[in-house]
Amino acid sequence: MTGLSTTMSGSGQRRIMHSLAEYGFVVMFFLWAVYLTLATDNFATTDNIFTILRQAAIIGITAIGAHFVILMGDMDLSAAAVISLSGVVMGEAMVNQGFAPIPAALAALVVGALVGLANGLIVTQLRINAIITTLGTSSILSGIAFTITQGKTIYGERGNDPIDKIEFLSRNRVLGDWVPVPVIILFACYIIAFIVLRYTAYGARVYAVGNNERAAWLSGIKVDRIRIATFVVAGALAGFAGIMQVARQGTATAGMGADFLFPILTAVVLGGASLRGGRGKVFSTLVAAIFLTSINNGMVLLGIDIYTQNIVSGVILVVALSMDRLRTLRL
């Protein structure tokens, strides 16, 4: 009886740990929101809520691609550098080369997709670990971005700045001048991602590859093609985020995406995607991205300095990784 009781007790503890890992960040989100609502006058206002959602757009959109990659058991560390390079290409094309917004945006998207293609080919054909591969390409992309800009900020003349033509991606509102355009784009991207993962053959194959790559290959799935396609999707989404970041800040710089890598990866892992692949819900990544943005927003409202904010961000990443480990425990 003692052994049985001990076994049941141990199983119960593991179930509790699983529950904490699955839903802990949602509880933290709720408690944080309640605290800020009571501690500040501005957190729960409509304007601030939309500000949080608008700020979450860059992280959230790029996190979709990272989510897809992690579902396969890989990881893409080049996303932030792709944001920077695509943004620089967008700014350079519009300001210095005279491109119209649509051709410039297409160029930025192509750059992101090509980086994803390069990552996918290196990982699948040369069999180099995805972390090492994307870390290397990240360094290359940063160097290219700095070479293009020569370390300077790209912007147009006041009153005649071509970048102003795309500011609607960041500042305009729709639905009765109420909802910011980035919020609409953010939720539209997640709805599309959900449909792709839930209802398409490609989505099913992504999960299959992440669950068991060999079994997926034996069942006839072209594993390498799926992995390459997923890296291309991730690159294109990061490229699109770069375009939105240019619209948001009104300039393009070689380091404009540098601060996004940790929040992107943290959002995916905190949202429940397993680093081992094959497991994760894309809408949970969205909630996690909004949660992370609300933390920074709340700390600003509370007057907390940037150095403490960085410490908190690091702690959250460690917590997210710990939660991923707890999810792997056997019941």
pLDDT tens sequence across 109-131 = 999 999 999 999 999 999 999 99
Q: 3-state DSSP call for residue 175? A: coil
**Are the C-beta atoms of residues 163 and 156 closer than 8 Å to each other?**
yes
pLDDT tens sequence across 277-329 = 999 999 999 999 999 999 999 999 999 998 898 898 888 888 877 777 666 65
Burial bucket for residue 318 (CB in 10 Å: 0-12, 13-18, 19+): exposed
CA dihedral sign of residues 289, 291, 294, 298: negative
Average pLDDT over residues 44-60: 94
The residue that leads in pLDDT, 310 or 142, is 142
Structure tokens at 318: 């460690």
pLDDT tens sequence across 235-290 = 999 999 999 999 999 999 999 999 999 999 999 998 888 888 999 999 999 999 99
pLDDT tens sequence across 94-109 = 999 999 999 999 999 9
Q: What is the pTM of this model?
A: 0.91
Residue 172: count of CB within 10 angstroms of its CB: 14
Burial bucket for residue 136 (CB in 10 Å: 0-12, 13-18, 19+): middle
DSSP string, 247-277: HHHSSB-TTTTGGGHHHHHHHHHHTT--TTS
pLDDT tens sequence across 128-141 = 999 999 999 999 99
**pLDDT reading at 24 higher than 80:** no
**Distance between CA atoms of 255 and 83, rounded to whole angstroms?**
9
Residue 9 — pLDDT band, cuts 50, 70, 90?
low
Name the β-bridge partners of 174: 179
Structure tokens at 28: 């933290």
Residue 76 — pLDDT band, cuts 50, 70, 90?
very high
What ranges do the domains of the chain cover?
26-34+41-327
Q: How far is CA 74 from the centre of its chain?
A: 14
Structure tokens at 254: 């070689």
User: Of 43, 41, 42, nearest to 29 (Cα)?
Assistant: 43
* CATH class assigned to 26-34+41-327: mainly alpha
Question: Which residue carries 């995805």 as its tokens?
Answer: 130
**pLDDT reading at 91 higher than 50:** yes
**Distance between CA atoms of 188 and 169, rounded to whole angstroms?**
14
Q: 3-state DSSP call for residue 226? A: helix
Average pLDDT, the chain: 90
**Distance between CA atoms of 329 and 126, rounded to whole angstroms?**
33
pLDDT tens sequence across 156-195 = 888 788 999 999 998 888 877 789 999 999 999 999 999 9
Average pLDDT over residues 201-214: 96
**Distance between CA atoms of 80 and 141, rounded to whole angstroms?**
10
**pLDDT reading at 1 higher than 60:** no
**Distance between CA atoms of 60 and 323, rounded to whole angstroms?**
20
**pLDDT reading at 7 higher than 90:** no
User: Of 232, 231, 239, nearest to 109 (Cα)?
Assistant: 239
